[in-house]
């Protein structure tokens, strides 16, 4: 099996893409898009993570089984975070606000 290696130009291209994505997330921090900020930030972070995993951790050189291990670990992490968030959202531990006493209540 022939070894696949990335050249210096390839590494510099990936590094440039990471710098571009970092600059994009910095520029995004100065804009106020409402709930779109979170979605765009997560997409940028995921793209940076994929670039680092694929090129700098050499997943493109690995067998499919090794790639599957990384994919399954991220899937399990996503399930864990989702279930934790659902648990926090579904709790009703905050007591209700007290009702103000009115004068005609004492009649």
Q: Yes or no: say if 71 and 46 are a contact pair by the CB < 8 Å rule.
A: no
Integer CA distances (angstroms), 5 to 2, 49, 55, 98, 106, in order: 9, 20, 10, 67, 84
Intervals of the chain under pLDDT 50:
1
Give the whole-angstrom CA distance, residue 49 versus residue 66. Answer: 17
Query: What pLDDT is stored for residue 2 in this prediction?
Result: 54
What pLDDT, on the 0 to 100 scale, is given for residue 24?
95
Q: Judge whether 25 and 41 are in contact, CB under 8 Å.
A: yes
Angle between helices 36-51 and 8-30 (to 10 degrees): 170
- Give the pLDDT confidence score for residue 105 in this predicted structure: 58
pLDDT at 34: 84
Listed by start position, the domains of the chain span 8-57, 62-90
CB neighbours (10 Å) of residue 104? Answer: 5
């Amino acid at each position: 099996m022939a070894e696949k290696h990335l050249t210096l130009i390839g590494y510099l291209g990936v590094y440039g893409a990471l710098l571009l994505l970092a600059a994009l997330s910095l520029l995004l921090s100065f804009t106020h898009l409402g709930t779109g900020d979170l979605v765009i930030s997560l997409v940028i972070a995921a793209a940076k993570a994929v670039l680092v995993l694929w090129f700098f951790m050499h997943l493109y050189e690995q067998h499919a089984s090794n790639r599957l291990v990384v994919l399954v670990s991220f899937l399990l992490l996503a399930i864990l975070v989702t279930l934790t968030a659902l648990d926090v959202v579904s709790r009703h531990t905050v007591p209700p606000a007290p009702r103000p006493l009115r004068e005609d209540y004492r009649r």
